[in-house]
Amino acid sequence: MSHPHRLRGHILTYSGNPFTEGWQNTVKVVENSALLMQAGTITAIGAEAEAAEVPETSYPGHLICPGFVDAHVHYPQTAIIASWGKRLIDWLNTYTFPEEMRFGDPDYAAQIAHRYLDLALAHGTTSLASYCTIHPASVDALFEAAAARNMAVVAGKTCMDRNAPDGLRDTAQSAYDDSKAALTRWHGTGRARYAITPRFSPTSTPAQLHALGALWGEHPDVLMQTHLSEQVDEIEWVRGLYPDARDYLDTYEAHGLLGARGIYGHAIHLTDRERDRLSEIGAGLAHCPTSNTFIGSGLFDLAGLAGAGQAVGLATDTGGGSNFSMLRTMAAAYEVAQLRGVSVHAANLLWLATAGAAQVLHRGDEIGTLAPGHAADITVLDLASTPAISQRTLRADDIWDAIFPTIMMGDDRAIADVWVAGRRVA
């Protein structure tokens, strides 16, 4: 949409990190206000937006949010989401790896890429970071589908050269070559950004990790995404495979795969050294609460890590995560934190699913916040989307009391509208 357009409703704004500065000081809902956008960008909020004589879309009683940002997904697992009852390693072998084999077919990869992005948008997610498969065509499929929707996405070819089935392994050299070709093609093309993607240390030899670390060193502006300390039995497996490593994080650090532009998924069972190094280097963590409970991984220390200034973003972890919805993921993050004795405020949960995740993806200057100069990627929440939510919202004492029931009980019915780069998603 190149012409100016105004949205009206309750507008969610951020001025800082609620985990370190307090939500009362950093997160505000400006009720019955206006947002102006033009050429895919937010140009004004508040009085300046009110002054313009432009077409308007009004959302009375609705919350106008930044589009949700999902910091860690596996789009190739779309079709196997909610598969029953396995621990991580069994789940990979039983469900994930057989499904990922199918992505050698470019047509199938394209079909699932389009399906996944449509599901993401239907749940209010406008940006994400996804693992693909070892097949270069799976990378092209996702970036092409995202470009067709003008979505800001991060993705990369998943690299594995051991402990995976025949037909689902590459080599140290092919992982380097394929990743380099994909990042050369896609990184910075439109709204696409590339992430070098070793699945995790157990499925990569030291030689492959070293090759990917070298590639990252040659292209330090790209991101790197992997998994870290998800389950205790996985950590034991890593210890056996890398007997000289100080800990799980060291298997990456020793091969050039620890950096500020790294995104480390799960990070539940961290040692003190790992916590200190991740914080020192400024790396990002992806918190995947529905996955962590669904696969029985453990309880992420959100308050301890985020409260200490560690960069944390929220993530569905489709399809180990059991839901495409960032609302459901916020609810799960609240529940996991409760089990650790902390009640997380709604403002913090929304920040994790927007600005927090955007910062982890190093795109905080573009997405995740409603402010002039940022992309007009916007999700509008109906705060009375079901009878159960509506009757609770009617009892609300203030705006946050009205928002919280939608976080805890909302689903895709709460997504009243989605705008991507200023264009309404049909």
pLDDT tens figures, 292-351: 999 899 999 999 999 999 999 999 999 888 999 999 999 999 999 999 999 999 999 999
Taking only the tens place, the pLDDT of each residue in 177-210 is 999 999 999 999 999 999 999 999 999 999 999 9
Give the burial string for 98-131 (b: 16+ CB within 10 Å, else e).
Answer: ebbbbbeeeebbbbbbbebbebbbebbbbbbbbb
- What residues contact 54, with CB distance under 8 A and at least 6 apart? 3, 4, 5, 6, 36
pLDDT confidence bin for 83, thresholds 50/70/90: confident
pLDDT confidence bin for 52, thresholds 50/70/90: confident
Within 10 A of 68 (CB to CB), how many other CB atoms are there? 30
Task: Retrieve residue 367's tokens.
Answer: 């997405």
- At 305 the pLDDT is 98
- At 51 the pLDDT is 82
Place of tokens 């009852």: 85
For the cut 70, the answer to whether the pLDDT of residue 264 exceeds it is: yes
> How far is Cα 34 from Cα 13, in angstroms, rounded to an integer?
12
Tell me if 375 sits within 8 A of 40, measured CB to CB: yes
pLDDT confidence bin for 42, thresholds 50/70/90: very high
How high does pLDDT run on average in the chain?
96
The proportion of the chain whose per-residue pLDDT surpasses 90, expressed as a percent, equals 91
Q: Which residue type occupies 200?
A: F
Taking only the tens place, the pLDDT of each residue in 364-410 is 999 999 999 999 999 999 999 999 999 999 999 999 999 999 999 99
For the cut 60, the answer to whether the pLDDT of residue 278 exceeds it is: yes
Taking only the tens place, the pLDDT of each residue in 113-135 is 999 999 999 999 999 999 999 99
Q: Which residue type occupies 173?
A: Q
pLDDT confidence bin for 212, thresholds 50/70/90: very high
Cis peptide before 307 (omega within 30 of 0): no
- At 259 the pLDDT is 98
Q: Which helix (H) or strand (E) holds 281?
A: helix 272-281
Task: Retrieve residue 110's tokens.
Answer: 């394209």
Q: Which residue type occupies 297?
A: S
Going from the N-terminus, what domains does the chain have, and what CATH number goes with each? Answer: 5-66+368-424 (2.30.40.10), 68-360 (3.20.20.140)
Tell me if 283 sits within 8 A of 259, measured CB to CB: yes
φ/ψ of residue 416, rounded to 5: -75, -35
- What are the CA-CA distances from residue 23 to residues 108, 181, 195, 369 (Å)? 44, 43, 31, 15
Bigger pLDDT: 90 or 138? 138
Tell me if 352 sits within 8 A of 330, measured CB to CB: yes
- What are the CA-CA distances from residue 270 to residues 55, 246, 301, 327 (Å)? 51, 12, 9, 26
pLDDT confidence bin for 1, thresholds 50/70/90: very low
Within 10 A of 201 (CB to CB), how many other CB atoms are there? 27
pTM of this prediction? Answer: 0.97
